[in-house]
Structure 1
Amino acid sequence: MPKITRLGWIAYAIAIATIVLDQVSKAWILSTLGADPGASQPLLGPLHLTMVHNQGMSFGLFRGSELSRWLLTAFSAAVVVGLAIWARKTTRWLMAGGLGLIIGGAFGNNLIDRIRYGYVVDFIDVTRLHFPWVFNVADSGITVGVALLLLDSFLSEEKTLAHPDGHGL
């Protein structure tokens, strides 16, 4: 089995930190608002805390039955395992950060929440800014993680195009 790179360990640490922050924030919101869907409390300007039971994927996509719950859980587990294997070999900072955030977000949302509650706990509500979804820390981790992977890909491709043989112009 290949050795885990230093940045692979950093990706795992970021994943764990994301899971902890996500689950602590959800425990806090459940103790603050309770578990009743629709309970809401203004926080700061357009930011409200609103309890939503998301039975679908990110941003409420693919809501459905008990079968959907377990299919999404299984799919998320496969994604987490695949990304964790990929993270073992990472040698670039942006990739390590992106993979860690996505792993942590997928694990927190789609594995822990779905097994524990049967739905994902969403509560960050900025719908007053015309953003139509209520989300959580794990969703944010996944979104920022994907952005970091795209940026890493773009920067790596740009470097390869500028110096395809590695020797410069």
Structure 2
Amino acid sequence: MRIFPVLLVCLALATCSSHLLLPQVTTPAQPGLRDLSSVQLIAVSASNDSQAPTERAALLTGLLRDGLSLRGYREGSPVQLRAYYWLGLRREPVELSTDLPPPGLLGPYQSVHRLQEEHATLHLRLTDLQDQVLWEGQVDTGLSPAWDSDEQLHKASNALLQQVPMAR
């Protein structure tokens, strides 16, 4: 009979960790974006990053550089566009019922340590050199469990970059 609650918890965790990524375009492509393809990536720092900021920033920079190049944008001069990007992080405590013993092998660990689930919103804004917004979008993703956060960030950046108009 103890296996049934454990299976329910595993099913709930699997459902939470594999949510659909729904990118939102907050500013549709403006006509000025049509003929621009040379881009400069600019990271906007996030002060609430739990990972070493340089690790996640380096990963995110690489993902966006590769993704934008697949869409026809290239880094170089003369710069025609600026691509501002940032990651807004949120942490939520994982609530466990105090009436029942914690599920799974981590039971004693979970009863002593406060577990948190991490979520993020990836923002990307393309502007001209006068900082007029030519396109902007965002996507929400989970970053928990920590061992899978890089893969989840990769999926989120791909989903967002699919919304960016192709360069000519």
Q: By the TM > 0.5 criterion, same fold?
A: no
Q: Which has the larger radius of gyration?
A: 2
Q: What TM-score comes out, normalization by structure 2 length? A: 0.24
Structure with greater proportional strand content: 2
Structure with greater proportional helix content: 1
